[in-house]
Amino acid sequence: MNISKKAEYTAPSETLSISAKCKELKKQGLDVVNLSVGEPDVDTPQHIKEAAISAINKGFTKYTDASGILELKEAIANKLWEDNGLKYETQQIVVSSGAKHSIYNSLLALCNEQDEVLIPTPYWVSYSEMVKLAGGRPVVLPTNEDTLKLTPQDLERAISDKTKGIILNSPQNPAGIVYCEDELLALASVIKEKGLWVISDEVYERFVYDGRKHISIALFIPDQTIVINGTSKTYSMTGWRIGYTAGDVNVIKAVSRIQSQTTSNPCSISQYAALSAITGPQGCVEEMRLEFDKRRRFIVERLNSISKIACQMPEGAFYAFFSIKALSLNSEEFSNLLLEKANVAVVPGKAFGAEGFIRLSYATSLSNLEKAGDRIEAAIKIL
Ligand code: GLU
């Protein structure tokens, strides 16, 4: 049976497939350090689990409104106001099965066939595939060679009469870039003038370091921004699959219609867990951030102590993105070598549109990071 062209051209998610391979190797008894997938290593906080158990016991196990329960939308609206200074009514919010789902549904709601969607490099592996699946055409943008940030000049240069929008991610995966207020203002002014929409992926918002503050571009162009966020990273709830979208009421209505015909509501139990996460005590998040900060400083220093690789200090998220340009191997060859010969799983920069780089997640214990540093050093020495 022939599969569709769409299916044929969709690459598997490299972050998820490397992680699956790694789990398989671990099952076989190999001592693999998994730095591939980006997920906090701590358990979901107890009060969030209790809220889920209580939801089950109260019988909240049936369909909910396809766009999510009202209490959760109210909590999200409060959070967006208090944390981000963004004003949304509940009709401007839809809850989905993870932020990935939120982004995909937003793309389905916004893209006509062959509409161009701009994606600054390096980018998270799923953006380009999701744009293609939604019928659009991903256009990958070069960024500043040193900072890896998108400049307003590069943005302006890339805009054609087919450009519909841009996906912006700050704090960013994979390089940990955080756009500051002035940089966002400059990009917002181009986006405003050209009448584009922006999907602003803000899932790493709580993981910023060295006194930085996350700012949403929606503050400057609210009518053109679709804000994406979720509970996966912030509350270590990757498996619960809760993401949300906030923006223009017509886009949100469209996303809700699409969702009502495809997945229906996100898991009812997870919605109650997310409600507890967003409205409950936030100390667990700060604890995680402080721990990640320690690990960030450790791993970046360790990587920079190894000859022939270089790593800029990430400003946010929980990834180190280091250059292997001085090695004779490309990013795929080097990642394979690390997995097969050194038992360290990482993701090749190629998957993020950035050959010559490797991404590792430091959302794992310091002892794992120490082990990984030693193994990477030993692998490079014998090259
Ligand atoms: N976003 C995380 C990562 O980049 C989780 C896996 C995924 O969905 O890609 O590793």
| pLDDT of amino acid 95 | 99
The C-alpha atoms of residue 196 and residue 115 are separated, in whole angstroms, by 11
| pLDDT of amino acid 7 | 94
- Judge contact between 22 and 32, C-beta under 8 A: yes
| pLDDT of amino acid 203 | 98
Instruction: State in Å: Cα 227 to ligand 1 middle.
Output: 18
Please compute the mean of the pLDDT values over residues 146-168 and round it to a whole number.
97
Instruction: State in Å: Cα 38 to ligand 1 middle.
Output: 5
| pLDDT of amino acid 61 | 98
For the chain, helix, strand, coil in percent to 5 are: 45, 15, 40
Residue of 10, 13, 14, 15 best suited for mutating to test ligand 1, as the one with most atoms within 8 Å of CB: 15
| The residue to which tokens 């409950």 are assigned | 280
Residue of 14, 17, 39, 123 best suited for mutating to test ligand 1, as the one with most atoms within 8 Å of CB: 39
Burial degree of 168 (CB within 10 A; 0-12, 13-18, 19+): buried
The C-alpha atoms of residue 166 and residue 121 are separated, in whole angstroms, by 12
**Per-position DSSP letters for 31-64, written without gaps between them:** --EE-SS---SSPPPHHHHHHHHHHHHTT--S--
pLDDT band at 106 (very low <50, low <70, confident <90, very high): very high
Mean predicted lDDT score pLDDT of the chain: 97
Residue of 125, 207, 241 best suited for mutating to test ligand 1, as the one with most atoms within 8 Å of CB: 125
Instruction: State in Å: Cα 109 to ligand 1 middle.
Output: 23
| Atom of ligand 1 lying closest to residue 125 CA | 9
| pLDDT of amino acid 70 | 98
Give 275-309 pLDDT, tens digit per residue.
999 999 999 999 999 999 999 999 999 999 999 99
Instruction: State in Å: Cα 238 to ligand 1 middle.
Output: 9
| pLDDT of amino acid 184 | 98
Give 33-81 pLDDT, tens digit per residue.
999 999 999 999 999 999 999 999 999 999 999 999 999 999 999 999 9
* pTM higher than the cut 0.85: yes
Instruction: State in Å: Cα 37 to ligand 1 middle.
Output: 6
| The residue to which tokens 């791993």 are assigned | 299
Domains of the chain as residue ranges with CATH: 5-44+283-381 (3.90.1150.10), 46-279 (3.40.640.10)
Residue of 124, 228, 318 best suited for mutating to test ligand 1, as the one with most atoms within 8 Å of CB: 124
Q: 143-161 in b/e burial notation, b at 16+ Cβ within 10 A?
A: beeeebbbbeebbeebbee
Please compute the mean of the pLDDT values over residues 243-263 and round it to a whole number.
98
pLDDT band at 381 (very low <50, low <70, confident <90, very high): very high
| pLDDT of amino acid 76 | 99
DSSP 208: B
Please compute the mean of the pLDDT values over residues 85-111 and round it to a whole number.
98
| Atom of ligand 1 lying closest to residue 37 CA | 10
Q: Whose CA is nearest to atom 9 of ligand 1?
A: 15
Q: DSSP E strands: which ranges in the chain?
A: 33-34, 93-96, 116-120, 137-141, 163-169, 197-201, 225-230, 243-246, 310-311, 319-323, 344-345, 347-348, 357-361
Q: Whose CA is nearest to atom 5 of ligand 1?
A: 38
Q: Whose CA is nearest to atom 3 of ligand 1?
A: 38
Q: Whose CA is nearest to atom 1 of ligand 1?
A: 38
| pLDDT of amino acid 130 | 98
Please compute the mean of the pLDDT values over residues 232-238 and round it to a whole number.
98
Q: Side-chain half-sphere of 159: how many Cα atoms within 13 Å? A: 18
- Judge contact between 274 and 72, C-beta under 8 A: yes
Chain Cα centroid distance, residue 298? 23
Chain Cα centroid distance, residue 266? 19
Q: Which residues line ligand 1 (CB under 6 A)?
A: 13, 15-16, 37-38, 100, 124-126, 173
- Judge contact between 243 and 98, C-beta under 8 A: yes
pLDDT band at 246 (very low <50, low <70, confident <90, very high): very high
